[in-house]
């Protein structure tokens, strides 16, 4: 497919300094995992409630499913199988936003009204950008998921993210082009928060390096994508950067194949979920893929092995956005553990996450204190084979500092 949004997944500047890993109350616990579930003193063992507002249905439902599976795997891993922190069981309430910001806001308000102090989810960027301000207004910790829009970073002090952002996608894409000065770049994307964020990021990164950047934007509701593929080809770019999300990915790649775009320009896009691999057909080996994650990309970190084992035992397979849920659970558990299993002091939860470095699925991850960006490695990937035999291989790992977004000013 293309650089994923989530909000597709599909288709930054220097990292100042990685903050020191916060030591947990139980000194023997590894970064990203909790200590024993019996740490807390006193007899209060009331549950901690976490609300997950995500796309259970709608155009990004496949991504939402991966996120949920990853969250459950991460919760088990970070609590050593207890699903409790400091003796407090972690209870999850799932709310389906169907990718609709209005539904997400309604669900978030409902959960907040029921005294939920921790929210996570947001498969779509448009959702995250609406839920974040609600969290700030009510002083609730909000950990956005696959939503990639750069504006989520620095949105407010209560908003974090557990996935990558568009700037990191773009910086990974820029690694394929070399010297951008004097080159022409066209961004093919949907006219929504995710697509617009990618256009802005490409203009910032490659435009800032001397490239001329143009955009071809399609309405998210469009199903006939041939006119947009035709426009992209007619632009005659040196690089066509595709940033796409949702169920129309197949139609998009079919249109690009039919217009023979691959023979006339270098195409870079994000590698989508495993189910999308056959869609590229013979053109797959002609495309340069940037990648957030595919199963096995991290080379077998402890967290990756644990995630894959948990998901497999539950009848599924890890995919593009499974780590986003896993990471979100690690963050929730760490924040609770730093506060002895209590969620009553939201500012303390926030403080415990700022500057935290930990061992995640993809390796070392850091929550940047200044704006809550999640600093992480990205991948250059090639796809070989066709149809069901198509397999991804990580050609190069781009370090967290190579793709780090510039520090954003905290909005509130």
* Residue 88 structural domain: 48-164+300-375
User: Are 198 and 256 within one domain?
Assistant: yes
User: Are 158 and 91 within one domain?
Assistant: yes
3-class state of residue 404 by DSSP: coil
Count of domains for the chain: 2
Report if residue 186 sits inside a domain: yes
Q: How long, in residues, is the chain?
A: 412
The Cβ of residue 49 has, within 10 Å, a number of other Cβ atoms equal to: 18
Report if residue 191 sits inside a domain: yes
CB 256 within 8 A of CB 235: no
Single pTM value for the model = 0.83
User: Are 175 and 276 within one domain?
Assistant: yes
Q: Alpha-carbon distance 234 to 72, whole Å?
A: 46
Q: Pick from 232, 267, 291: which residue ends a domain?
A: 291
Report if residue 40 sits inside a domain: no
Report if residue 335 sits inside a domain: yes
> Is 237 exposed, middle or buried, given 0-12, 13-18 or 19+ CB atoms closer than 10 A?
buried
Digits of tens for pLDDT over the chain (412 positions)? 444 455 444 333 333 333 333 333 333 334 444 443 334 445 678 999 999 999 999 989 999 999 999 999 999 999 999 999 999 999 999 999 999 999 999 999 999 999 999 999 999 999 999 999 999 999 999 999 999 989 999 999 999 999 999 899 889 988 888 889 999 999 999 999 889 988 998 999 999 999 999 999 999 999 999 999 999 999 999 999 999 877 788 788 889 988 999 888 989 999 989 988 887 777 788 889 999 999 999 999 999 999 999 999 999 999 999 999 999 999 999 999 999 999 999 999 999 999 999 999 999 999 999 999 999 999 999 999 887 889 999 999 999 999 999 999 998 7
Report if residue 274 sits inside a domain: yes
């Amino acid at each position: 497919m293309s650089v994923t949004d989530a909000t597709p997944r599909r288709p930054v500047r220097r990292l100042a300094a990685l903050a020191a890993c916060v030591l947990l109350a139980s000194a023997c616990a590894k970064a990203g995992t909790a200590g024993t579930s019996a740490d807390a003193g006193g007899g209060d063992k009331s549950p901690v409630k976490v609300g997950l507002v995500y796309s259970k249905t709608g155009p990004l439902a496949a991504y939402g499913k991966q996120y949920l599976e990853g969250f459950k795997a991460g919760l088990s891993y970070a609590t050593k199988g207890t699903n409790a922190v400091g003796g407090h069981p972690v209870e999850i309430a799932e709310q389906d936003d169907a990718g609709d910001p209005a539904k997400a806001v309604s669900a978030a308000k409902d959960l907040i009204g029921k005294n939920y102090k921790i929210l996570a989810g947001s498969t779509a960027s448009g959702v995250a950008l609406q839920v974040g301000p609600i969290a700030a207004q009510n002083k609730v910790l909000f950990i956005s998921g696959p939503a990639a829009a750069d504006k989520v970073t620095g949105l407010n002090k209560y908003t974090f993210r557990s996935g990558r952002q568009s700037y990191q996608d773009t910086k990974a894409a820029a690694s394929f082009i070399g010297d951008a000065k004097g080159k022409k770049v066209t961004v093919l994307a949907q006219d929504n928060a995710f697509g617009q964020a990618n256009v802005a990021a490409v203009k910032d990164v490659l435009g800032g390096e001397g490239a001329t950047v143009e955009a071809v934007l399609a309405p998210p509701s469009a199903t006939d994508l041939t006119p947009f593929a035709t426009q992209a080809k007619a632009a005659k770019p040196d690089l066509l950067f595709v940033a796409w999300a949702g169920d129309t990915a197949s139609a998009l790649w079919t249109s690009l194949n039919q217009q023979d775009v691959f023979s006339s320009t270098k195409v870079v896009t994000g590698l989508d979920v495993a189910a999308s691999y056959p869609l590229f057909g013979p053109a797959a080996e002609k495309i340069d893929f940037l990648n957030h994650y595919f199963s096995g990309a991290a080379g077998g970190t402890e967290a990756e092995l644990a995630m894959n084992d948990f998901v497999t035992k539950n009848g599924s397979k890890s995919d593009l956005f499974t780590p986003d849920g896993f990471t979100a659970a690690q963050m929730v558990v760490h924040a609770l553990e730093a506060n002895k299993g209590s969620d009553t002091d939201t500012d303390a939860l926030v403080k415990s996450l700022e500057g935290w470095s930990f061992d995640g699925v993809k390796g070392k991850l850091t929550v940047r204190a200044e704006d809550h960006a999640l600093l992480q490695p990205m991948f250059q990937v090639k796809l070989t084979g066709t149809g069901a035999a198509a397999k991804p291989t990580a050609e190069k790992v781009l370090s967290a500092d190579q793709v780090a977004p510039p520090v954003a000013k905290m909005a509130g």
